[in-house]
Amino acid sequence: MTPWLILKRELRDLLSLWLVPGLAAFLPWRWCVHLYWWLAGTGLLLREEVSGSRGGRRMLGLPPDDPAFDRRFRFGFLLEHADLFRALGRGWRGLAATMPVVRDAASPPAGGLCFFYSFNQGLPAMAALRAAGYKVWMVYRSLPGRPPGAGWLRYAYMRLRVRMVTVVSGNPGIATGGARERIATAVAAGGLVFLAADSPPRPGTGVVPMRFPDGRQGWWRSGGPRLALELTGERYSVRVRIDWKARERSAQLRLLPPTEDLRELVTQLNLEFCENFAEQPELWFHWPGPQGFFQFPEGARPDL
């Protein structure tokens, strides 16, 4: 990469990851929402992300050139980045105030495994559930070094994000890699442990079949669902929604039906994923590379 392209990349990340989202640290949230919605319609920010998503949209049967999709896609990512700075400037309670939670009335705060889906907006959902009395924990992928292709400002943003996960949750979190025992310990102590349900498969992992809304078969890692069947405690899912007209968001915590069957649990999670996908596909994190869900990795083992 030439020096000019490196500089261009850093300037783009400075604007999209730091300066514009950073306004959320001190401006009223409603002002930020209006500003981000306007910016999302201009196409000034996140150009590479939007461009990269078009191949995935084409692959899954959605129109690749859709201005309304592009705007919502940008808006969702701007909120995702702004959440980091909202927590930095206003604390986890200030972040929690940006996302009300709807939960089962008969379900008091209790420990368990909580599945989420990769439709962004996870940080305020964690903050809101902490404010509701849950002891929240996040399972996150460790960051040993700068990923290939990531600039220094993006790498700094990624490191800060990992740090803010611990600030929002009030504990050090659980890094992937030998995490099963730590997850079990946290759940046994009354913690609500957040774990991604829609994790793309990797070589050498257990996998389970899943289906996208169009009926196409893909694969998820099976570690989370298998662990859920081994642990005592409730099983939950959390879903985040954005009301595009009001441009307001909310989180719904749902108690999953009890089951001791892996296939049935995966089916439950797959159904919720498809509902999320059909309702707000613009928020899906994996648009730039959905093919990873359709390739059976070398050395993977099917668990169903």
How confident is the model over 100-124, as pLDDT tens digits?
998 875 567 888 999 999 998 899 9
Instruction: Give the pLDDT mean for 23-30.
Output: 97
- Predicted TM-score (pTM) of this structure: 0.93
Nearest by Cα to 33 from 242, 216, 184, 214: 242
Task: Measure the CA–CA gap between 212 and 210, rounded to whole angstroms.
Answer: 7
pLDDT at 105: 58
How confident is the model over 266-298, as pLDDT tens digits?
999 999 999 999 999 999 999 988 999 998 988
Task: Measure the CA–CA gap between 244 and 119, rounded to whole angstroms.
Answer: 15
Indicate the angle between helix axes 223-230 and 262-279, nearest 10 degrees.
Answer: 130
**253 near 238, Cβ under 8 Å?**
yes
209 three-class SS: strand
The band of 176, judged by pLDDT with boundaries at 50, 70 and 90, is: confident
Q: Mean pLDDT, the chain, as a whole number?
A: 92
Domain count, the chain: 1
**In percent, how much of the chain has pLDDT > 70?**
99
Higher pLDDT, 24 or 177: 24
**258 near 241, Cβ under 8 Å?**
no
> Strands of 112-116's sheet, edge to edge?
101-103, 248-255, 234-243, 112-116, 191-196, 135-140, 174-175
Strands 191-196 and 112-116: parallel
176 phi and psi angles, rounded to 5 deg: -65, 160
pLDDT at 38: 97
Token pair, residue 247, equals 């441009």
DSSP letter string, 97-159: TTS-EEE-TT--S--EEEEE-SSS-HHHHHHHHHHTT-EEEEEE----SPPTT--HHHHHHHH
Range(s) of the domain holding residue 39: 3-302
Q: Is 202 left (phi over 0), alpha (psi -120 to 50) or beta?
A: beta
The β-bridge partners of 112 are 192, 234
CA distances 76 to 23, 121, 122, 148, 172, Å, are 16, 8, 11, 25, 26
User: 142-156, 168-182, 215-229 — which is least confidently predicted?
Assistant: 142-156
Task: Measure the CA–CA gap between 157 and 141, rounded to whole angstroms.
Answer: 15
pLDDT at 123: 95
**270 near 149, Cβ under 8 Å?**
no
pLDDT at 98: 97
Task: Measure the CA–CA gap between 161 and 34, rounded to whole angstroms.
Answer: 24
pLDDT at 158: 93
**214 near 91, Cβ under 8 Å?**
no
Task: Measure the CA–CA gap between 167 and 189, rounded to whole angstroms.
Answer: 19
Instruction: Give the pLDDT mean for 215-239.
Output: 93
Token pair, residue 126, equals 């964690």
